[in-house]
């Protein structure tokens, strides 16, 4: 099976379990592995799967995924597991380093004899890339140090549910220019959203990814602002997003990061710099009292649990496009 020769086999806008647009290329290693058309289709399919889940109860019949996680997870692990089960498929899960007990290229060629797709949460982006290189089945990046594409899909789905559109909105990310920020920037600007990052010195996103996002923004006519002034980033924002100051694998930097980021806490005063109808987003897990206060997390404008729910629906749509 050559996973890189999958054809687009359905017309965007038609949602039948046996007539789903296939994601050409077949791996989701970073956000840009989905074309703009596939991204738009996925969001519409996710809406449909959320509206009528029973229509997809057998869509993954006989299919399975193997989940390889080098880092902990609540949402990603359980929502992939549930997505497969609710669509008639199954999943197996293994947590631990990939390529230590035996070479990664052997792990990949074992798994592809058993499962229809690999979902991997890793440290190095090169690990998901190597899994994709060595396996014949689709590989989905379930978070790496560089990207969190599955999260960004659920995030834009949530913003669209709240505002009824994406183009012309402004998303502000306050904090670390990390994996979540990088995926959001790439995904938001492609969809015509302005993206602002309020970030301390020394914690900017990868300049190559910013350059990629600027190219996409030039096409969609979106604006990208990167500033050290959190209030400036929030000006006019429809959605305010933050994430932990020390990501998984950076625990030893937690103390110095608390100092570096202390002006970037999304508290009531900072949140008030955004539009009065702005929503609050967080990928979770959150550290209340650090990047966000309890009052913002629990406020009526917090959409964090809607976001978490949408992980399930967005990933169902992704699996339908990549595995069926």
Residue 150 annotated among the catalytic residues of the structure: no
- DSSP class of residue 187? H
The reply on whether position 304 binds ligand NVA by CB under 6 A is no
Least Cβ distance, residue 260 to ligand CP (angstroms): 22
Q: Nearer Cβ to ligand NVA, position 141 or 293? A: 141
Site string for ligand CP, 125-144 (x = CB under 6 A): ------------------x-
d(CA 93, CA 91): 7
User: Which one from 33, 311, 313, 315 is the annotated catalytic residue?
Assistant: 311
Is 148 one of the catalytic residues? yes
Closest CA relative to residue 28, chosen from 144, 184, 138, 104: 138
Could you tell me the maximum CA-CA distance found in the chain, to the nearest angstrom? 55
**Minimum distance from CB of 293 to ligand CP (Å)?**
19
User: Which of residues 158, 178, 242, 273 is near ligand NVA by CB under 6 A?
Assistant: 178
273 part of the active site: no
Check binding of 183 to ligand CP (CB under 6 A). Answer: no
Among ligand NVA, ligand CP, none, partner that 247 touches (CB below 5 to 8 angstroms by kind): ligand NVA
**Segment near ligand CP (CB under 6 A), from 52-60, 74-82, 122-130, 131-139?**
74-82
121 given a catalytic annotation: yes
Alpha-helical regions (H) of 137-287: 149-163, 179-190, 207-220, 230-234, 254-260, 268-271
Using CB under 6 A as the binding rule, whether residue 76 contacts ligand CP is answered as: yes
User: How many whole angstroms separate alpha carbon 267 and alpha carbon 103?
Assistant: 46
Asked if 247 touches ligand NVA (CB under 6 A), the answer is yes
Q: How far is the CB of 287 from ligand CP (least distance, A)?
A: 13
Q: Where are the beta strands (DSSP E) in the chain?
A: 64-69, 90-95, 117-121, 139-141, 170-174, 194-198, 224-227, 239-242, 279-282
- Kindly state whether residue 95 participates in binding ligand CP, applying the rule CB under 6 A: no
Q: For residue 151, what are its two tokens?
A: 């999260």
Using alpha carbons only, give the angle 248, 144, 302 rounded to the nearest 5 degrees.
65
Instruction: By CB under 6 A, name the binding residues for ligand NVA.
Output: 143, 178-180, 243-244, 247-248, 283
């Amino acid at each position: 099976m050559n996973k890189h020769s999958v054809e687009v086999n359905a017309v965007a806008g038609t949602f039948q379990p046996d007539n789903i647009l296939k994601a050409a290329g077949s791996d989701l290693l970073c956000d840009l592995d989905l074309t703009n058309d596939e991204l738009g289709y996925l969001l519409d399919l996710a809406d449909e799967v959320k509206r009528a889940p029973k229509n997809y109860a057998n869509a993954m019949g006989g299919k399975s995924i193997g989940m390889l996680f080098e880092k902990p997870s609540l949402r990603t692990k359980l929502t992939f597991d549930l997505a497969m089960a609710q669509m008639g498929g199954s999943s197996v899960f293994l947590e631990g380093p990939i390529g230590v007990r035996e070479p990664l290229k052997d792990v990949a060629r074992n798994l592809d004899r058993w499962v229809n797709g690999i979902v991997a949460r890793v440290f190095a982006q090169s690990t998901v890339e190597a899994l994709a290189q060595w396996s014949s089945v689709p590989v989905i990046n379930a978070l790496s140090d560089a990207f969190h594409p599955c999260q960004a899909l659920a995030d834009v789905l949530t913003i669209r549910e709240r505002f009824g559109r994406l183009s012309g909105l402004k998303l502000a990310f306050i904090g670390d220019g990390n994996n979540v920020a990088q995926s959001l920037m790439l995904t938001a600007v492609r969809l015509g959203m302005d993206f602002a990052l309020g970030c301390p010195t020394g914690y900017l996103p990868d300049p190559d990814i910013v350059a990629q996002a600027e190219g996409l923004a030039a096409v969609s006519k979106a604006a990208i602002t990167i500033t050290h002034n959190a209030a400036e980033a929030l000006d006019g924002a429809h959605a305010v997003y933050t994430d932990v100051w020390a990501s998984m694998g950076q625990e030893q930097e937690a103390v110095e990061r608390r100092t570096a980021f202390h002006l970037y806490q999304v508290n009531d005063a900072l949140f008030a710099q955004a539009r009065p109808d702005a929503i609050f987003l967080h990928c979770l897990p959150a550290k209340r009292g650090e990047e966000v206060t309890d009052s913002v997390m629990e406020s009526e404008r917090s959409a964090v649990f809607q976001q978490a729910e949408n992980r399930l629906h967005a990933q169902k749509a992704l699996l339908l496009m990549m595995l069926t």
